[in-house]
Structure 1
Amino acid sequence: MLPILYQDDHLVAIHKPSDLLVHRSSLDAYETRFAVQLLRDQIGQHVFPAHRLDKATSGVLLFGLNSDSARALSMQFAERQVAKNYLAVVRGWPDEQGEIDHPLEIRKDDAEVFGGIVEKAAQASQTHYRRIASVELPWMVDKYPSSRYALVTLDPITGRRHQIRRHLKHLSHPIIGDTTYGKGRHNRAFAQAFGVNRLLLACTQMQFKHPISGQMLSITAPVAADMSWVIQELGCLAALDTHQIEYQAPQPSTSLQRQIFV
């Protein structure tokens, strides 16, 4: 069952788990599970995605319960009227806060181009970020005897494809678990240490106007248990409480006590 965060006669919001596609895609032709079909079967009616969330990203995902509601919601995303908040675990220590203002090429999805990615001229793209916790672990992953990681919150202003992931790569602080834009050695180290093999990126909150009433809605998704487990083992769980970020209870801690060499 997909956790439902909000539902009325016009829209529904779910907590999408990591590793679930929103809808069928030729870029992942062998996948058989999709949020659209799962939610449709769960609530017994057709649903219409209002925006896109990467397969590997967990968190708030909105659907209209009819095409008009979905269109109105999608328009808010297109016109930058939706406030989106994300949480990520990244390599290194970024500045305490800042704005990444880095143009990104348009990347068409498979609905537009079958069998590949086409790039066009770069578009203006901005993401605000804040580092809320830092940790240094005794891992000789690269050439250094220890490795630094950070917990960051992110507010994308624009909505380009893979924007947060590409912006953090541009900042030289890629997200842990990102197999496209990240660092394989660090990804493998985390998978080995914590037994969690996922992109450590989650959409934790969205604020937008109801497509019919115009009332402001704020929908929150707790950080999934597998991601909060990693954050707990890094010793950063208190940062979520400090910044009022909800999270699901992580599994019992075993405490990280070994060095990892990759």
Structure 2
Amino acid sequence: MSPEILFSDESLVAAYKPEGWLVHRSDIDRHEHRILLQYLRDLCGSHLYPIHRLDKPTSGVIVFGKSGDIAARIQAQLESDTSVKTYIAVCRGYCPEQGEIDYPLPPVADFKHQRKRPKAELPRQEAVTLFRRLATVELPYAVDRYPSSRYSLVEIQLKTGRRHQIRRHFKHIHHPLIGCPKYGKSTHNRFFAEQFQCPRLLLHALRLEFDHPQTGTRLQLVAPPRGCFKTLLETLGWDLPH
């Protein structure tokens, strides 16, 4: 699946990022050749400046600035309450109907010199996630220790942007996301891969809203999930929020 430009003008470009693509080159995954920033630069023929990021296994809406100043102005919005960042995810169990997860998180230690430091020494940062449950399903499969297995479709809004925030927060409330090898549960990940042919993290950036940095017009950038995530929603009869 290839990226697609959703919106472009002289100031910015918004695109759909497929799962498995890096936003930009990184020493953490130096062998990955699917680099969204380079792909979009070649596609639109202009230099682009990263504003925010989506993890490699996450799909959905992402935006880049066409100048450093534009990128900084949009980034300031995304870090404030003037923007809306909406995700959808599938988690294990019936999560609460709605809630706020206010749980500070330490930085993710990606590099060896960071991992040498004891976790207790890493300063925790404010992290707030809002969510509401959209749908549930109980499947007649004994994936774990119960004769059937329950799952929830959840709409999520980020109030802060910490690394792996959604995945870590849902693990914290004991409803880990499906398809997450680091914070999820392998038995459920394997079940979705085999039963639904969906071997991916079920986390998708559905909608991004902010004011255009030059015109002030409210931009609402929406991209429904594609591929096996889309097929899964259809199979389970789950509708996306409007």
Residues 131-175 of structure 1: per-residue CA shift (max 9 Å, x gap): 110000111111111100010000111111111111111011111
Corresponding residue of 1:151: 153
Does structure 2 retain, via aligned residues, the 8 Å contact 1:50–1:71? yes
How far off is 1:232 after superposition? 1.8
TM-score where L is the length of structure 2: 0.92
Q: What amino acid maps onto 2:159 in structure 1? A: I
TM-score where L is the length of structure 1: 0.86
Residues 51-71 of structure 1: per-residue CA shift (max 9 Å, x gap): 011111111000001111111
SS of structure 2 residue aligned to 1:189: helix
How far off is 1:106 after superposition? 2.3
Distance 1:81 1:171 in 2: 27
Distance 2:90 2:219 in 1: 27
Following TM superposition, the consecutive aligned residue runs of length 4 or more in structure 1 with deviations greater than 6 angstroms are none
Corresponding residue of 1:253: none
How far off is 1:208 after superposition? 0.7
Identity %, equivalent residues: 46
Distance 2:89 2:142 in 1: 22
Q: Which runs of 5+ in 1 are unaligned?
A: 245-262
Residues 78-101 of structure 1: per-residue CA shift (max 9 Å, x gap): 334321000001110011111111
- 2:219 is aligned with 1:226: no
Distance 1:37 1:180 in 2: 27
Distance 2:91 2:154 in 1: 7
Does structure 1 retain, via aligned residues, the 8 Å contact 2:49–2:67? yes
Residues 8-47 of structure 1: per-residue CA shift (max 9 Å, x gap): 1000000100110000111112111100011111111111
How far off is 1:115 after superposition? 6.8
Corresponding residue of 2:181: 179
Residue correspondences, number:
237
- 2:179 is aligned with 1:190: no
Please tell me the root mean square deviation across aligned C-alpha atoms, in Å. 1.7
Distance 1:174 1:80 in 2: 26
- 2:73 is aligned with 1:72: yes
Does structure 1 retain, via aligned residues, the 8 Å contact 2:197–2:228? no
SS of structure 1 residue aligned to 2:221: strand
Distance 2:156 2:174 in 1: 15
Distance 2:185 2:208 in 1: 29
Corresponding residue of 1:205: 207
Does structure 2 retain, via aligned residues, the 8 Å contact 1:51–1:74? yes
